[in-house]
Amino acid sequence: MPTTSHASTAGDAGTWTLGDRTVHRMGFGSMRITANPDRDLAIAVLRRAVDLGVNHIDTAAFYFSPGGTLKVGSGPTRWATELIREALWPYPDDLVIATKVGPSYDPVAGSTPQATSPAALRAQVEENLRRLGRDHLDVVNLRILKRPGHDSVAERFGALADLRDAGLIRHLGLSNVRVDHLDEAEPIAPVVCVQNSYALDNRTDDGLLRTCGERGVAFVPYFAIAGARREAGAEARHDEAVRAVARAHGVTPHQVRLAWTLHQGAHVLAIPGTGDPDHLVENIAAGALRLTPEELARLDAPVVEEPAQPA
């Protein structure tokens, strides 16, 4: 039987405060809506998300069709930020749009260079403002490409802090980083969130998640459903523990993965993305799913591989 009987909304997941903005812990990621060939359906999904209580939407200037990657001959380009504006402007007063800067795309070279200079980062911020139709950005995450050794974020984060002081940005965050990056950024300007890849089967950032909780910084996992499949989409393989918990609650394994994510701490925010209205409703409903300590222990237990049978 399902855990809840009422129509679920994003508010069922609880709330967290990003700086001075309170958001529901169940949000929406906009990357996948760019891959939807039906523009009207993509806009409908965004509007439905807000109708279901979502007031935290994740996006980036480099989210564009299809699936965030521009391909020659792939048809008209759909920018996630422009879809958000078309669907939701004028924006609800409580809506927080978090975007990312750093990566950009060169359609000629087919590469994803990093914007590192203050001028390049300002250009990306201004592009976000233009496409979203805003005079300021609620949250801007500095997205980096992690490299071994010491790869400083000080100059880049400092450039965004200057734009924050100028009123173009309200709050700052980091994406795809380590604890030492957070240590380096916090003396420059307040960090309200850290956004990294994290899932039930991708626990490499457990330490960073705990550090964020100790410091009152939101931890915002991406690929919480996709796991190791990342941009390829939702994970279709689930171990027996996930399937058993799903059966017990009358929900899908994907909903269990989202619920487990939210159970990792009050500071953890979910941003599942989809272009499917039915999947959207399922994702939102996962915020109302309450897992028992025994279920969480079962999900956290190491997966024991079955020994190979002799031929």
Each residue of 73-92: pLDDT tens digit?
A: 445 567 899 999 999 999 99
Single-letter code of the amino acid located at 47: R
pTM: 0.89
φ, ψ of residue 309 to 5 degrees: the values are -85, 140
d(CA 11, CA 148): 40
Residue 215 lies in a domain: yes
Token match 């017990």: residue?
Answer: 248
pLDDT band for position 232 (cuts 50, 70, 90): very low
Residue 139's beta-bridge partner residues?
98, 171
Single-letter code of the amino acid located at 141: N
Residue 132 lies in a domain: yes
Each residue of 120-143: pLDDT tens digit?
A: 999 999 999 999 999 999 999 999
d(CA 185, CA 181): 6
Q: What DSSP state is assigned to residue 225?
A: T
- Surface-to-core class of residue 236, CB atoms within 10 Å of its CB (0-12 exposed, 13-18 middle, 19+ buried): exposed
Residue 195 belongs to domain with CATH number: 3.20.20.100
Residue 119 lies in a domain: yes
Q: Which tokens hold the place of 33?
A: 């809506």
- β strands within the chain, DSSP E: 15-18, 21-24, 28-29, 56-58, 96-101, 137-143, 169-175, 191-195, 218-219
Single-letter code of the amino acid located at 133: G
Residue 290 lies in a domain: no
Number of folded domains that form the chain? 1
Residue 93 lies in a domain: yes
Q: What DSSP state is assigned to residue 235?
A: -
Least confident of 167-171, 229-233, 249-253: 229-233
For 65, the domain range is: 18-232+266-274
Residue 94 lies in a domain: yes
**C-alpha Rg value of the chain to the nearest Å:** 19
* Active-site annotation holds for 105: no
Residue 36 lies in a domain: yes
Could you give the percent of the chain with pLDDT greater than 90?
72
Count of other CB atoms within 10 angstroms of residue 196: 21
pLDDT score at 105: 63
Q: Which of 63, 91, 198, 222 is catalytic?
A: 63
Token match 């750093």: residue?
Answer: 102
Residue 302 lies in a domain: no
